[in-house]
Amino acid sequence: MSRERDLTTLEVLGIAIKSEIEAIKLYHRIRDKANNPDLKTKVDFLIDQEKNHEKILTEAYRKRFPGVDLSLPTKSLVPSVSDVLERDATLKEYFAAAMEAEKKSEEFYGELAGKTRDQSSRSMLEYLASMERSHYSILEAEFRALEITEDYNTDDFLRGERLMNVGP
């Protein structure tokens, strides 16, 4: 994710906060499409994670820039749901978009961690990069399950009778 110029700390935090907000919206859309209770639980976990990231970043913003109103950019690393997907997008399309967003977020935080000289900032950015990587892995596993069988996104997938069609 190369840039013509380095971003200011104010810009970095604004972009990061906006991206976390957009990720939350995307995960809510995925949750609305999900029927499998286990899948809903995993998406709820991701929503909570992104909310926590937003909180961490907002606190860092307020600490670093006391008295400066938080102004978020119009664009984020994570494209807004309405920009990328129609309301009738498939669950797999939402997962593909979320995986791409997590990959971009990991790259963004990782690149910034490598540039900063402040140890506290580097630690926070490396933490966020690693969390986005773990989110990608969760999404990838669920995406693969959706590819294996369309029955995966049913509310009774784990009740037993459908498992006979999944195993060896």
Lowest mean pLDDT, pick from 4-8, 86-90, 122-126, 163-167: 163-167
Q: What is the pLDDT of residue 168?
A: 52
- Angstrom distance (rounded) from CA 14 to CA 19: 9
Q: State CA 139 to chain mean position distance.
A: 9
H/E run at residue 156:
none
Q: Is the model's pLDDT at 127 over the cut of 60?
A: yes
CATH tag for 9-70+77-150 (out of 3.40.640.10, 1.10.10.10, 2.40.10.10, 1.20.1260.10): 1.20.1260.10
Tokens of 136: 């990608």
- Angstrom distance (rounded) from CA 125 to CA 57: 10
